């Protein structure tokens, strides 16, 4: 039997002819673009093309994230988007690597009071969350032994972990089964609109596209106007699902997006003093999150003072010692034995209110049937919301309105209208 690896799959797809016309072109083949492609195809859309400079996703958020999925958000729309998605993940658990192992939010008094304000929203959504005191916390996690300053914890048993790459491949495989085409090594370089719809121009990436080449390409602030157009596609609709590069793609499509990308770092480490294998995601009062990963521990923290802009560098031992080891050792004496192994840097695409931007790009003046849609800036929650938002946007594209989610609060023009969907439950 021939073993089909991700590399050989990409080499095969790289040779597929690029169509000259499509009903819908999706820019970005990460978990968001792939989920939308599946949803469109399963609702009868017969001409969907997904295009990405790097289908492998070496630097994509889909490949580099921590794999947690939760509905414990502050905003009702974010709660619902995750709830619908997690129900889907549970239904396809084996295919996407989903494990219902819960989230444990450890709090000091102020953090506990802030989180409890969201408890009625979780209850209204039917999402179980238990409130534990410090004693109950210690019964569940005996290694948390420095509890003098802890108020307790919130336990959400239906949250869990999955494999983001498996989820992306699941979406892609189901989309391909319905005729969706995924095209590798093309980057959007220009666009125009007329009575016939949209014309999308693409630049061909080299077949030997090394990691260094990818970093250089993604760090460019503007498109190289001297680059030759290698392919053009006529489309009725286009969707900006470009993740950390969504603002750049928006400019090419003729509108401005307020989102920006920012580095997030993840460390891989171990601790011989503690067996974390029975546990799910744990969030320390400092904001450090961690969970078991293939016999080790994976953890990180959202550094709020990180400057915006593409940066894939990992700060290594220094980051681990200051940002991971020091806070965790204050919560558990066992964690004094944490040992750094490796890590990586990746990107969040962040909106000004840290909720997603999904729907029609209303600031774009289309002609005829041309329409520009967007699905990005999930601010670290893309995997968690991917299924629900994919379905909702597919409904809007095909039917004019979504029945799964009210997408109006996610609209990208909300900021210009002075409306925000502030999400405070961010890690």
Query: How far, in Å, CA of 56 to CA of 35, rounded?
Result: 16
Query: How far, in Å, CA of 334 to CA of 350, rounded?
Result: 35
Find out if CATH 3.40.30.10 is the number for domain 6-63+165-257+353-414: no
Query: How far, in Å, CA of 315 to CA of 144, rounded?
Result: 27
Q: Beta-carbon neighbour count of residue 358 at 10 Å?
A: 32
Cα 26-30-31 angle, rounded to 5 deg: 105
Q: How far is CA 107 from the centre of its chain?
A: 25
pLDDT digits (tens, 9 = 90+) for 44-90: 999 999 999 999 999 999 889 999 999 999 999 999 999 999 999 99
Number of H helices, E strands in the chain: 14, 18
Same fold, 6-63+165-257+353-414 and 99-160+261-350: no
| Residues of the chain where predicted confidence (pLDDT) is lower than 70 | 1-16, 221-227, 365-370
| pLDDT attached to residue 11 | 44
| pLDDT attached to residue 372 | 96
Q: Beta-carbon neighbour count of residue 407 at 10 Å?
A: 21
Whose CA is closest to 164, among 363, 289, 30, 361?
30
| pLDDT attached to residue 3 | 38
| pLDDT attached to residue 1 | 30
The CATH class, in words, for 99-160+261-350 is alpha beta
| pLDDT attached to residue 15 | 53
| pLDDT attached to residue 14 | 45
Structural domain spans, the chain: 6-63+165-257+353-414, 99-160+261-350
| pLDDT attached to residue 10 | 45
Residue 190 contacts residue 101 (beta carbons within 8 Å): no
| pLDDT attached to residue 132 | 99
Residue 13 contacts residue 37 (beta carbons within 8 Å): no
Residue 242 contacts residue 376 (beta carbons within 8 Å): yes
| pLDDT attached to residue 5 | 41
DSSP summary character for residue 327? H
Query: How far, in Å, CA of 264 to CA of 269, rounded?
Result: 17
| pLDDT attached to residue 426 | 94
Strands 281-283 and 103-107: parallel
């Amino acid at each position: 039997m021939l073993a089909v690896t991700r590399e050989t799959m990409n080499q095969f797809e790289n040779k597929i002819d690029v169509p000259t016309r499509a009903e819908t072109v999706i820019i970005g083949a990460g978990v968001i673009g792939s989920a939308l492609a599946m949803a469109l195809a399963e609702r009868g859309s017969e001409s969907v093309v997904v295009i990405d400079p790097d289908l492998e996703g070496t630097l994509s958020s889909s490949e580099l994230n921590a794999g947690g999925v939760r509905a414990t958000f502050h905003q009702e729309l974010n709660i619902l988007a995750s709830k619908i998605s997690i129900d889907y993940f549970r239904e396809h658990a084996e295919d996407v690597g989903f494990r219902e192992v819960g989230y444990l939010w450890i709090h000091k008094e102020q953090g506990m009071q802030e989180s409890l304000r969201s408890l009625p929203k979780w209850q209204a959504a039917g999402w179980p969350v238990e409130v534990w005191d410090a004693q109950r916390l210690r019964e569940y996690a005996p290694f948390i032994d420095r509890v003098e300053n802890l108020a307790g914890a919130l336990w959400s048993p239906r949250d869990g972990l999955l494999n983001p790459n498996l989820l992306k491949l699941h979406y892609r495989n189901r989309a391909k089964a319905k005729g969706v085409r995924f095209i590798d090594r093309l980057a959007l370089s220009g666009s125009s609109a007329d009575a016939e719809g949209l014309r999308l121009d693409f630049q061909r990436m080299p077949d030997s596209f090394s990691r260094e080449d990818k970093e250089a390409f993604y760090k460019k602030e503007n498109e190289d106007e001297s680059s030759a157009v290698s392919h053009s596609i006529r489309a009725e609709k286009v969707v900006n699902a470009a993740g950390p590069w969504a603002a750049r793609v928006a400019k090419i499509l003729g509108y401005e997006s307020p989102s920006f990308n920012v580095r997030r770092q993840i460390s891989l480490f171990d601790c011989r003093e503690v067996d974390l294998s029975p546990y799910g995601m744990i969030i320390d009062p400092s904001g450090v999150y961690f969970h078991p990963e293939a016999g080790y521990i994976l953890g990180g923290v959202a550094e709020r003072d990180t400057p915006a802009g593409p940066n894939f560098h990992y700060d290594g031992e220094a980051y681990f010692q200051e940002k991971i080891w020091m806070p965790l050792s204050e919560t558990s004496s066992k964690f004094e034995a944490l040992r750094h192994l490796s890590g990586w840097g990746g990107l969040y695409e962040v909106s000004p209110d840290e909720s997603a931007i999904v729907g029609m790009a209303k600031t774009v003046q289309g002609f005829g049937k041309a329409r520009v849609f967007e699905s990005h800036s999930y601010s670290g929650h893309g995997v968690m919301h991917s299924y629900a938002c994919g379905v909702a946007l597919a409904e809007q594209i095909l039917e004019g309105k979504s029945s799964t989610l009210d997408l109006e609060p996610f609209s990208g023009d909300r900021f210009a209208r002075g409306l925000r969907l502030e999400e405070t439950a961010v890690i």
